């Protein structure tokens, strides 16, 4: 699975003029399932991002995860957005190919699994809408943007 993790002070997803998912401070997770990905990769990616220490402590060092970002165990939000375009292949020209992305039904299955698991492990999880034309609004905090892949 491929993801891009952005530390945000706020983020929301709009579909057809309606906000479908929104968080305050936390992580925006752009998520892509690739062919042959499994629930094991989803579990590994989720475990890594929940423990990723990219929130600052009182000393200004990146020392807290989204689960303990305020240093007192009060976690921030996760906004999980499906984005198959992370699997773009530009090796054969200027028009991206997406043959390494999971088929839509497999992508939806893994996305739904990832979100279910995230909700079991983290108290605040919002989502976009799989397969929809979405507008993602965010305020990147830092900015901090990290690509994270689990194979």
Could you tell me which residues come within 8 angstroms of residue 119 by beta carbon, excluding any fewer than 6 positions away? 125
User: What is the percent of the chain where pLDDT is above 70?
Assistant: 97
Q: Is 85 part of the annotated catalytic residue set?
A: yes
Q: Is 74 part of the annotated catalytic residue set?
A: no
- Asked if 150 and 94 touch (Cβ cutoff 8 Å), the reply is no
* Length, in residues, of the chain: 151
Q: Is 98 part of the annotated catalytic residue set?
A: no
Instruction: Give backbone dihedrals phi and psi of 23, rounded to 5 degrees, phi first.
Output: -140, 160
- Asked if 80 and 69 touch (Cβ cutoff 8 Å), the reply is no
The average confidence (pLDDT) of the chain is 94
Q: Specify the DSSP class assigned to residue 89.
A: B
* pLDDT over 90 at 71, yes or no: no
Q: Are strands 26-32 and 2-15 parallel, antiparallel or unpaired?
A: antiparallel
* pLDDT over 60 at 72, yes or no: no
Identified catalytic residue from 83, 114, 117, 127: 83
- Asked if 33 and 111 touch (Cβ cutoff 8 Å), the reply is yes
- Pull the structure tokens for residue 17: 């003029």
pLDDT, tens digit, for every residue of 115-127?
Answer: 999 999 999 999 9
The architecture that CATH gives domain 2-149 is 3-Layer(bba) Sandwich (3.50)
User: Which residue would you say has higher pLDDT here, 61 or 70?
Assistant: 61
Identified catalytic residue from 6, 41, 67, 84: 84
Could you tell me which residues come within 8 angstroms of residue 30 by beta carbon, excluding any fewer than 6 positions away? 3, 4, 5, 6, 81, 83, 86
pLDDT confidence bin for 68, thresholds 50/70/90: confident
Identified catalytic residue from 19, 74, 85, 135: 85
* Spacing of C-alpha 44 from chain mean position: 13
Domain locations in the chain as residue ranges: 2-149
Could you tell me which residues come within 8 angstroms of residue 102 by beta carbon, excluding any fewer than 6 positions away? 33, 34, 35, 37, 84, 110
């Amino acid at each position: 699975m491929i993801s891009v993790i952005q530390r945000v002070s706020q983020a929301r997803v709009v579909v057809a003029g309606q906000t479908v998912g929104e968080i305050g401070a936390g992580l925006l997770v752009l998520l892509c399932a690739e062919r042959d990905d499994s629930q094991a990769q989803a579990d590994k990616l989720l475990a890594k991002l929940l423990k990723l220490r990219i929130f600052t402590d009182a000393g200004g060092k990146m020392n807290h995860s989204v689960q303990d970002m305020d240093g007192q165990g009060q976690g921030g939000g996760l906004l999980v957005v499906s984005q198959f375009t992370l699997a773009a292949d530009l090796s054969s020209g200027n028009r991206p190919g997406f043959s390494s992305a999971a088929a839509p039904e497999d992508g939806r299955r893994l996305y739904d699994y990832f979100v279910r698991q995230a909700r079991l492990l983290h108290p605040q999880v919002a989502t976009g809408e799989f397969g929809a034309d979405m507008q993602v609004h965010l305020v990147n905090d830092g900015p901090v943007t990290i690509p994270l892949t689990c194979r």
